[in-house]
Chains A and B, each alone.
Chain A
Amino acid sequence: QKEVEQNSGPLSVPEGAIASLNCTYSDRVSQSFFWYRQYSGKSPELIMSIYSNGDKEDGRFTAQLNKASQYVSLLIRDSQPSDSATYLCAVTNTGTASKLTFGTGTRLQVTL
């Protein structure tokens, strides 16, 4: 079982819709959770971090964490074509908090 799992996609949503990206992780002691966006040919860019159960909102982005279900998600409201990218989920664990373990990413396509 992979440590961090994501559906590779592509996830296709129409412009203006809500995109929902999901991530599950295997280690119950996972401590910190991050969403990175990576455009083709570019490096990952941090867009959200979440550390405790519940929702965290930043602009059009909402991260949701459920530690009991070992599940973290990212919602993108009012999706724009510029949101088309690969979204990477990453976690850190107690004792290795400086090591990010990444999922393989979900490719999001926002269509006109």
Chain B
Amino acid sequence: KAGVTQTPRYLIKTRGQQVTLSCSPISGHRSVSWYQQTPGQGLQFLFEYFSETQRNKGNFPGRFSGRQFSNSRSEMNVSTLELGDSALYLCASSFGDQGLGYTFGSGTRLTVV
């Protein structure tokens, strides 16, 4: 069974640009969450979507946004990139039942120069 697929795997962008990351969840999973991982802050929750609705949101500025499509695929967008946005962005999916564990994708490594 296919896992969580994230594209692209690596990305280099310039300050001020915007970026869109994509995530395809495991078949049948309706919940998709996004996390940012950095050496200093660890794994931090960005937001979670279920059936195309944002259910939870972390403490990130409005430059970070996301959406989910009817097939449960999700995209995350970061506008006006800053150097501090350089991180590993991880997508995780779940059936959506409250409290069950999430399966993570391989991540997108974003470098902002």
Residues of A participating in the B interface, judged by any CB pair closer than 8 Å? 31-32, 34, 36, 42-46, 49, 51, 88, 90, 92, 96-105
Give the CA-CA distance A36 to B90 in the complex, in Å.
14
Count A-B pairs with CB separation below 8 Å.
56
Are A98 and B33 touching (Cβ within 8 A)?
yes
Are A92 and B99 touching (Cβ within 8 A)?
yes
Chief secondary structure at chain B's binding surface: strand
Given known contacts A44-B43, A103-B42, A105-B42, is B106 in contact with A98 (CB within 8 Å)?
no
Task: Report the minimum CB–CB distance from A100 to chain B (whole Å).
Answer: 6
The 7 A-B pairs at the shortest CB distance, nearest first, are namely A97-B98, A32-B99, A102-B43, A43-B104, A104-B42, A46-B101, A98-B48
Give the CA-CA distance A36 to B58 in the complex, in Å.
20
Q: Which residues of chain B (47-72) have a CB below 8 Å from chain A? A: 48, 50, 55-56, 58
Across the interface, which residues of A come within 8 angstroms of B102, CB to CB? 46, 100
Across the interface, which residues of A come within 8 angstroms of B56, CB to CB? 96, 98-99
Across the interface, which residues of B come within 8 angstroms of A90, CB to CB? 43
Across the interface, which residues of A come within 8 angstroms of B99, CB to CB? 31-32, 51, 92, 97
Point out the residue from B48, B58, B104 that lies within 8 Å of A44, measured CB to CB: B104
Beyond the given A101-B45, A102-B43, could you list 4 further A-B residue pairs with CB under 8 A, ordered by the A residue number? A44-B90, A96-B56, A98-B55, A104-B42
Point out the residue from A45, A98, A101, A102 that lies within 8 Å of B50, measured CB to CB: A98
Task: Report the minimum CB–CB distance from A16 to chain B (whole Å).
Answer: 29
